[in-house]
A and B are shown apart, each in its own frame.
Chain A
Amino acid sequence: MDNSLIQDLKLLLRPRTMPVLTRGLTRSTRGGATRLLVLGAVGTVFWWGLFGICWRVLRYFHRIEDIGDLLAYKLLSMILIVSFALLLFSSILTSLSKLYLSRDLILVFSLPVAGYRIFIARWLDSTADSSWMVIVFTMPVFLAYGIVFGAGVAYYINTLLALTVLAVIASALSAILVMVGVMIVPATRMRSIVILLGVLLFVVLYLAIRLLRPEQLVNPEVFDSVLVYISSLQAPAAPFLPSTWAYNCIQAALTGTAWASIFHLVLAASFAAAMVCLLVLTADVLYFKGFSKTQTAAARVIRSSGLSDRLFRFLPAPVRSFTVKEIKTFLRDQTQWTQLFLIAALLVIYIYNFDALPLEKSPIQTVYLQNLFSFLNMGLALFVLTAVAARFAYPAVSLEREAFWLVRSAPLSLRAFLLIKFFIYYVPLLVLTEILIVVTNLLLKVTPFMMTLSTVTVFFLVPGIVAMGIGLGAAYPDFKAENPTQTVTSFGGLVFMIACAGYIGLVILLQAGPVYRLFMADLHGRPLSGATWLWTVAAFGAALALSILAIILPLRFGERRLSQVHI
């Protein structure tokens, strides 16, 4: 006897729901209760932090007469547009993965279940996966709106429903686009293209917005008249965008016009229902055909030139083998490229922000301020390095994945293996950080003393941060992760970030006092006392010793833990 649609959907979704229902969230999550607790704590802090910021901003807007609420509504509109864009992008990637690239699809398609039912089950899974985070982390924003505007219960219910409808629309649209796209381009290549395009778009938009100096928008003197300013705030968003329907629903609920809110909600929901019908019809025609197409391998477009083999010929053979392997696999992995684009954009913005600093408007003496910023910049640049190392150095060992047996069976000690990884990432990260420091110092027009101090301090701290990344990544590897670059969100990744923050903070603290004395003495042409010289030597000596320990200890720890890993 054939199962009903609901029965089939329950069966197909059981592999996702059963582990959580039978073993609970702690035992079905990799890393268990500890990981869940830590990530939960971080998430909670972030959630309440975001709420606090939004509440303060909205309270400030609410107190501005005439245009305050307009600013708040404009902000709400922008938040909903951005959320919808995020939902779309996230849904495209999740749909590609769930519908075409998941490892269990071969098994699922071998089951005696109709293709469209398989599709519906995967699509529901994809919708939940792609939207929960966006909804959960925009809730503090809407909560802040509700509190500041004194909205009733209906507002919160309608907002949640509006966001859910928005997620369904985004997921349905994405799935249709993906199904059509896969008929033209293989799914694996399509995922790489989408990720690359998404990142490029984000980078271009981010750069464009930053270069336009949006901070000037809060200065009405920029506009010729207040009326032009207010009209630009009142300009409605495009009426055909689902985010506009969600905005109309939420805004009506905020102002207490419940029926208007329900009307816009029903409008959006009816569109969502229509999209779902279109989606199922499209799936019936295209889904299995597209999945069959995905089973064939994509042809190689770019052939290797052998440049890296020639470039590293001078290295000893085992070192050369792993270096060349690392570089080739890095450059051929599209997920690494997207991270590189993002980081490049962030670095451009970082440097541009220094150029845009209005130092000449500061009441504090400029020379003092410039050099103070330079000293703080040292810490900031090292935090940027920590973030970059978290994405590249920390997952370096996990990137071996299940091929780690090759390392274990090779005539190469684990120590040598970790040192190879260390040097592969140390050189480019050192160059990157030094460039960052030198360029920002030049923009700040700092004294030669601060330039030397910054570059030398960075030179001694970079190896420690990279060593912590490699060592802690080796101590807490995840060879089974589908995306090893995400391993930094684990317990080990958290330990790495905290350790680096502590290390950088400690070195900055050690240097702060002596550097201040040296700088002020130089500025006022005063000689230094013997005690100050002693303090300076001791502080810098301690910083150097700390840097040496920061290289040795994490690598030793990683080697010891990695030797105990069973593969």
Chain B
Amino acid sequence: MIELRDLTKAYGTYLAVNRLNLRIAKGEIFGFIGPNGAGKTTTIKMMGGVLAPTEGSVTIAGVNMQAEPEKAKRKIGFIPDRPYLYEKLTGLEFMKFTADVYGVPESRFHERVAGILQMFSLADWSDELIESYSHGMKQRLIMAAALLHEPEVLIVDEPMVGLDPLAIIMVKDLFKRLAAEGVTIFMSTHTLKVAEDICDRIGVITRGRLIASGTTADLQREAHVTSADLEQVFLNLTGKS
């Protein structure tokens, strides 16, 4: 469902992402972890079509991002790490805007919007301007909007930032349910516990290179750790212990 082939991003002589190769199957939840400045957000932006790679390719559900960007983007629900939105729109207006951009039919929009806003505890605020929302509410609104057009792929940068514990539990359950329904989820996170709890596979990136990927057990073997948690695995693999 997602294929990254020799994906590279260079800023002058600095390689932010260096020949990244990954294949993620349909319905898989893939966690992307790494230290600050490792290249996680740069990778996510290239996958979402927000940043052009220097070399390599991104294929989303069989569609090449560079060749057919609009077609590829239609298959993606993109959730960035910082919730910058149109502050002068209400929550509902922003949902309608997103629905129209992604070509969601009006009848389908009306069927889904109330339920999605309720799920993200935004129904009571849907008629207020986004500028009056808290950081967490804005983050939830972006997630709600990303799910409106029923994407095949969800690309998420730091999904739990700004969410309260209840919302974190809700999002974890939601991601598992979506994956079971066949949605492929690619998420970057600093919260190793989250990656451990919900991800089928985890990739570890450092200095732009994917240094390990696999299940938690695979990573433990690779890090030569027998019974430690993901934190020790991460520290060993990134050479920070």
Are B132 and A412 in contact, with the CB atoms below 8 A?
no
**Pick from B50, B69, B80, B88: contact of A332, CB under 8 Å:** B88
Binds A, one of B21-29, B30-38, B89-97, B208-216: B89-97
A411 touches B90 (CB 8 A): no
Chain B 37-58, CB-CB to A under 8 Å as 1, else 0, gives 0000000010011111000000
Contacts A297-B132, A298-B132, A317-B101: A409 and B76 contacting too (C-beta < 8 A)?
Answer: yes
Contact A409:B70 (CB < 8 A) given known A297-B131, A320-B100:
no
B 116-130 contacts with A by CB, 8 A: 127-129
Q: Quick one: which of B98, B101, B128, B131 has the most chain A CB within 10 A? A: B101
B152 to chain A, nearest CB (A): 13
Q: Are A408 and B52 within 8 A (Cβ)? A: no
Judged by DSSP, the binding face of A is helix
List the B side residues contacting A522 at CB < 8 Å: none
- Give per-residue flags for B59-78: 1 if the beta carbon is below 8 A from chain A beta carbons, else 0: 00000000001110110101
Question: Please, which residue of chain B has its CB at the minimum distance from the CB of A330?
Answer: B88
Question: In whole angstroms, how far apart are the Cα atoms of A304 and B130 in the complex?
Answer: 14
Q: A206 in the interface, Cβ–Cβ < 8 Å?
A: no
Question: Is the beta-carbon distance between B88 and A328 smaller than 8 angstroms?
Answer: yes
Of the candidates B73, B82, B88, B132, the one whose C-beta lies within 8 Å of that of A329 is B88
Q: How far is the CA of A410 from the CA of B50 in the complex (A)?
A: 9
Q: Is there an interface contact between B101 and A412, defined as CB atoms closer than 8 Å? A: yes
Residues from chain B with a CB closer than 8 A to the CB of A298 are 132
B contact residues around A411 at 8 Å (CB): 69-71, 73-74, 101-103
A318-B103, A411-B71 known; A403+B96 contact, CB < 8 A: no
Q: Count the A-B residue pairs with Cβ separation under 8 angstroms: how many?
A: 86
Number of interface residues of B (CB under 8 A): 36
Residues in A with CB closer than 8 Å to B96 are 309, 321, 324
Residues of A contacting B180 in the complex (Cβ-Cβ under 8 angstroms): none
Contacts of B73 in A (CB 8 A): 409-411
Judging by beta carbons under 8 Å apart, are B93 and A318 in contact? no
Q: Give residues 155-191 of A contacting B (CB, 8 Å).
A: none
CB distance from B161 to the nearest CB of A (A): 15
Q: Which A residues lie within 8 Å of B100 (CB)?
A: 317-318, 320-321, 324
In the complex, chain A residues whose CB is within 8 Å of the CB of B129: 300, 332
**Distance between Cα atoms of A345 and B125 in the complex (Å):** 38
- Any B CB within 8 A of the CB of A16: no
Q: How close is A4's CB to chain B, nearest CB, in angstroms?
A: 38
Residues of B contacting A297 with CB < 8 Å? Answer: 131-132
Of A300, A318, A405, most B-chain CB atoms within 10 Å: A405
Which of chain A's residues has its CB closest to B131's CB? A297
Complex interface: chain B residues within 8 A of A409 (CB): 48-50, 73, 76, 78, 80
Contact B97 A403 (CB under 8 A): no
Does residue B85 face the partner (Cβ distance < 8 Å to A)?
Answer: yes
Q: How far is the CB of A155 from chain B (nearest CB, A)?
A: 51
Q: Which of B74, B84, B85 is the most central at the interface, judged by chain A CB atoms within 10 Å of its CB?
A: B84
- Cα A410 to Cα B49 in complex, Å, equals 9
Tell me the complex Cα distance, A304–B97, Å: 14
Known interface pairs A405-B80, A409-B49, A409-B76; A328-B89 also in contact (CB < 8 Å): yes
Q: Which of A328, A332, A409, A413 has the most CB of B within 10 A?
A: A409
Shortest CB-to-CB span from B222 to chain A, Å, is: 33
Q: Tell me the bound Cα distance from A321 to B99 in angstroms.
A: 8
Residue B52 contacts which of A303, A406, A412, A563 (CB distance < 8 angstroms)?
A: A563
Closest to B132 in A: A297
Among residues 399 to 446 in chain A, which have CB atoms less than 8 Å away from a CB atom of chain B? 401-403, 405-406, 408-413
Are the C-beta atoms of A304 and B90 separated by less than 8 Å?
yes
B92 to chain A, nearest CB (A): 9
Counting from the closest, the 8 A-B pairs by CB-CB distance are: A321-B100, A402-B84, A297-B132, A332-B88, A411-B74, A329-B88, A409-B78, A411-B73
| Further pairs besides A317-B103, A324-B93: 12, Cβ < 8 Å | A300-B127, A304-B93, A309-B96, A317-B99, A317-B101, A318-B101, A324-B97, A325-B86, A408-B50, A409-B78, A411-B74, A567-B51
30 CB contacts below 8 A, A to B, read A298-B132, A300-B129, A317-B100, A317-B103, A320-B100, A321-B96, A321-B97, A321-B99, A321-B101, A322-B97, A322-B101, A324-B93, A324-B96, A325-B89, A328-B89, A332-B88, A332-B129, A401-B84, A402-B82, A405-B50, A405-B80, A409-B50, A409-B76, A409-B78, A410-B101, A411-B69, A411-B70, A411-B101, A563-B52, A567-B51
